[in-house]
Amino acid sequence: MKTAVVTGGSGGIGGGICRRLAADGFQVVVHYGSDQNAANAVVSDIQRENGAALAIGADVSSEKEVQDLFAQTLSRFGSVDVVVANAGAMRGGPIADCSVDDFDRLMAVNFRGAFLTIREAASHVRDNGRIIFVSSQLAERPRQGTGLYSATKAAIDAMLVSLSKEVGGRGIAVNSVRPGATSPGMFDESDEEKKQQFIDLSAFGRLGTPEDIAAVVSFLAGSDGKWLTGQHIRADGGMSN
């Protein structure tokens, strides 16, 4: 049985990805940063459907803790076949109003954390495996008040193109998924006016769901995704068109 590690697996999109990959037959490591109860709830959902899952806590900005995350995964399940780097933090507002602390926090989680996760994945994912980064449509089309967040996502997207060439000889496919506004998730903190703006942008007249994003990740993680690599997949219901 194959094993998938999903960072930020306790949240909206992350939880949806964990449940979908478990339904696809993966053993799933549900990583969490601080909300152990939410991670345990995802594990319980998976086990209720006779799936295999394990919750592991780690600060993704810590090199040692990310290394320990992979060591515990290998100790429990014996292999790593798919890694989904999904853990992230959000901070909005004009650049002029963002503090150095805001910058450092987003860089620590969204950039450093994703880098550490992806670096370990490049070393530990088995041949013909998958490395998937959950990015954002804002990496491609930043909006007013999203400068810091957009920059952290775009930086990893650029890194993944290089990585795809470095591990391609082992049959490992490396891609990112760019969700648009999705609920439940970090976007829930937005006001109703902003939510309606994104609903109006969608070709389908609604916000995305974790299941929408998980379906794209499922495709990339499966055998049919083997010929896609170095790509940034829009999964936003047409919001960025």
Model confidence pLDDT, tens digit, residues 130-157: 999 999 989 888 888 889 999 999 999 9
Backbone Cα Rg of the chain: 17
Would residue 136 show up in a list of annotated catalytic residues for this protein? yes
pLDDT, one tens digit per residue, over 186-209 is: 666 667 877 888 888 898 999 999
Would residue 165 show up in a list of annotated catalytic residues for this protein? no
Which one is catalytic: 10, 32, 61, 149?
Answer: 149
Position 100 scores a pLDDT of 96
Hey, how many other C-beta atoms are within 10 angstroms of the C-beta on 155?
17
Dihedral of CA atoms 184, 187, 188, 190 in degrees, nearest 10, equals -160
Would residue 153 show up in a list of annotated catalytic residues for this protein? yes
How far apart, in whole angstroms, are the C-alpha atoms of residue 19 and residue 2? 15
How far apart, in whole angstroms, are the C-alpha atoms of residue 69 and residue 77? 12
Cβ–Cβ < 8 Å for 210, 38? no
Which one is catalytic: 153, 164, 176, 218?
Answer: 153
* Residue found under tokens 């290394």: 67
Which one is catalytic: 2, 32, 61, 135?
Answer: 135
Would residue 149 show up in a list of annotated catalytic residues for this protein? yes
**Which domains, ranges and CATH numbers included, belong to the chain?**
3-235 (3.40.50.720)
* Residue found under tokens 């690599």: 229
Which one is catalytic: 10, 136, 150, 164?
Answer: 136
User: The pTM is what?
Assistant: 0.94
Residues of the chain with pLDDT under 50: none
